[in-house]
Amino acid sequence: MSENKGKEVAIPVPWGTVAAQSWGDGQGEKWLLIHGWLDNSNSFHYLAPLLSQRGDTVIAIDLPGSGHSSWLPQGLMYHDLEFLGAIHRVIKYLKWVEFGLIGHSLGGGLALTYAATFPEQVTHLIMLDITYLPVRPLTPPQFQLRIRQAIESIELAEAKFGTGNGKVYKTKEDVRDRMMQPPVYLRFQDEGVLETYTPESADILLERGLKEVEGGFVLRRDIRLVLPSIHHIDWNDQREQAKEIKCPHLIIEASKGPKSKFAHSMYDIYRLNPKFKQVDIEGLHHVHLNQHQTVNKVIMDFLDECDRNKKAKL
C-alpha cells in the first residue's frame, strides 16, 4: 500500500492540526478530497495518485477527530456542519483560489454544501455514493428528542471512555472483522445494506485508522463522532443549496449503497444544471475503493469531457 501514500501534511488550526496527504505539485487542477463518516484520507488511496498523474495537485484530508487529525477539545460535541469551517481553514492555509472537490458519503455532502456556499471557488464537484449532506446515523429527527439524546449521549460516552478511543481490540484482524459488519442503521433501511467494504478496502483504511496501545489496537477516530448530532441541515435548505451548483457536477451512485427517497429526489434539481452527470455502478457503498478501476475511469472520462468542453468554448 505504501506506493500510493501521499506526503504527510499538518495544517494548523486553533485546536491542533488537520492532517492530510498530498500528491503532486503540478500546474493543473487543484483538488481537495473529503472522506466519509468514520473513514480517513486513505479512502482516496487509488484516486489521489491518479489525479496527480494528470499534473494536478491533490490534498486528501482527515476530518477532525479522524485519522491523524486532532480531536476537538474535551467537552465539545462534533457537529457535521462545523466540519465546513475546518475545510475552509484548510483552503485558506493552502491559499487556493479555485479548486475541485471530491467527497465520498458524508464527505460528498460536505463538498456539496461547501460548493453551494462558496461557488466562486469550486471548479468541479464530484460526489461518490451520496446526493446530499446526510443526517448523522442514529440522530432522531424530532427537535427535543434529538437535543436530549445528543446531550445525554456525550455524558454517557465521557463517563465510559473518558477521552479515549473506545474499545480495545486484541488483533488487527479483530478490528477488520468488526469493520466488515455494517452499522445497525444500514442493516434496517428499506433496502438493507449488509456490507460496505471488502477485506482489502478495510485494510487500506485501517492502515491509517488504527493505533497500537497496551493490550491491542484501537481505532484512531474520536468516539464522539458516533454520537447523535445536535443539529443538521433542514431538508428545504438542502434543496435550495442544490440549485446553487453551476460547475461541472458528477455523482457516482453504487447500486448496493444506502438509499432514501429524499436522496433520489435531489436529482430533479441537479439535472437543471446542464453540466450535471449521474453514473450508476454495480457495487457496495465503498465502491471507489472496492472497484476503484471502474470508478476512476468514470471520473477521468468526466474530467476529459470537461476539458474538451472548456477548450471548445475558447
Distance, in Å, from the CA atom of 224 to the CA atom of 161, rounded to the nearest integer, reads 10
The mean pLDDT value for 272-286 works out to: 96
pLDDT confidence of residue 190: 47
Task: Please give the single-letter amino acid code of residue 7.
Answer: K
Q: Please tell me the distance from the alpha carbon of residue 153 to that of residue 145, in angstroms, as a whole number.
A: 12
pLDDT digits (tens, 9 = 90+) for 5-36: 899 999 999 999 999 999 998 788 999 999 99
**Burial classification of residue 118, based on how many CB atoms lie within 10 Å of its CB (0-12 exposed, 13-18 middle, 19 or more buried):** middle
Integer Cα distance of 9 and 56 in angstroms: 17
* Residues 270-296, mean pLDDT to the nearest whole number: 96
Hey, where are the domains in the chain?
A: 2-137+232-313
Measured in residues, the chain has a length of 314
Q: What is the pLDDT of residues 29-85, one digit of tens each?
A: 999 999 999 999 999 999 999 999 999 999 999 999 999 999 999 889 999 889 999
Residue 171: CB atoms within 10 A of its CB come to 10
For the entire predicted model, the pTM comes to 0.94
pLDDT in tens, 223-247: 999 999 998 899 999 999 999 999 9
171 or 194: whose pLDDT is higher? 171
Q: Catalytic positions, please? A: 105
Tell me, what's the pLDDT at 220?
93
Across the range 103-115, mean pLDDT stands at 97
Residues 246, 27: Cα–Cα separation, whole Å: 24
Q: What is the pLDDT of residue 188?
A: 45
Instruction: Classify residue 73 by burial, with Cβ atoms within 10 Å: 0-12, 13-18, 19+.
Output: exposed
For residue 231, the one-letter residue type is H
Q: In the structure, how many helices (H) and strands (E) does the chain have?
A: 12, 10
Indicate whether 191 pLDDT > 70: no
Average the pLDDT over each of 93-102, 181-190, 195-204 and give the range with the smallest value: 181-190
Banded model confidence at residue 182, pLDDT cuts 50, 70, 90: low
Q: For 110-160, write each residue's pLDDT tens digit.
A: 999 999 999 999 999 999 999 999 988 889 989 999 999 999 999 998 888
User: In the numeric block, which cell numbers belong to residue 162?
Assistant: 473518558
Residue 186 has pLDDT above 70, yes or no: no
Give residue 185's pLDDT: 54
- Are the beta carbons of 213 and 139 closer than 8 angstroms? no
The contacts of residue 242 (CB under 8 Å, 6+ apart) are: 112, 116, 132, 266, 269, 270
Region 256-270: mean pLDDT is: 91
137-141 long-range Cβ contacts below 8 angstroms, 24+ apart: 137/37, 137/183, 137/185, 137/186, 137/226, 138/185, 138/226, 138/228, 139/228, 139/229, 139/232, 140/228
CATH placement of domain 2-137+232-313: 3.40.50.1820
